[in-house]
Amino acid sequence: MNEELMERLKAFLFREDNSTLVGSPASQEEIIQAQERLNVRFHADYVHFIQTFGGAYAGVEVKGFSNGSSLGKETVVSLTLGFREQVEEGEPAEEILRSSYVISIDGAGDPIMINPEGQVLMYYHDTGELETLADSFEALIEDCFSEW
């Protein structure tokens, strides 16, 4: 992620009044174990984010392994495995969910995930549709955090 964006995020998230929005940084061991369990490779920008902030709020909730206390206890692993179990065999999103990882959930319970190409997608579980939210994790954060 570009340094200017990271500095803006740090200035916001490391303020004392925002302590519930930032978690504990992810370790390299946690990242490796999660990638193996999910059979994915996390993109560098997502890794940079969770190694700096853990699970944190940056205009959108981003789940890691240890989230800010106001973000809940779900992890990238539990979210991904949970949604993989919910998708029925043969659904169009099945293949995408099997090769992607879930970093967040929107207000309607729809997963926000990163696919192998690095795009951020939303899967509308009621309709089975996929929408590209951003071409990259960095672009998603830049777009969501630009309002802050």
For residue 102, the domain's CATH number is 3.40.1580.10
More confident residue, 31 or 85: 31
- Position 148 scores a pLDDT of 58
Q: At a CB cut-off of 8 Å and minimum separation 6, what does 107 contact? A: none
Residue whose entry in the numeric block shows the structure tokens 């570009």: 2
Per-residue pLDDT band for 147 (boundaries 50, 70, 90) equals low
Per-residue pLDDT band for 111 (boundaries 50, 70, 90) equals very high
Give the chain's domain count. 1
Q: Could you give the C-alpha distances from 77 to 12, 63, 83, 132, 139, in angstroms and in order?
A: 26, 9, 10, 21, 23
Q: pLDDT digit string (tens) for 13-70?
A: 999 999 999 999 999 999 999 999 999 999 999 999 999 999 999 999 999 999 999 9
Count the neighbouring beta carbons within 10 Å of the beta carbon of residue 147: 6
Q: How far apart are CA 132 and CA 116, in angstroms?
A: 13
Overall average pLDDT of the 114-119 stretch: 96
| Structure-block tokens of residue 66 | 């240890």
* pTM of the predicted structure, to 2 decimals: 0.93
Show the domain range for 69: 3-145
Q: At a CB cut-off of 8 Å and minimum separation 6, what does 108 contact? A: 124, 126
Phi, psi of 26 (to 5 degrees): -75, 140
- Position 128 scores a pLDDT of 81
**Percentage of the chain surpassing pLDDT 70?**
97
More confident residue, 103 or 86: 103
- Please determine, for residue 129, whether its predicted confidence score (pLDDT) is greater than 90: no
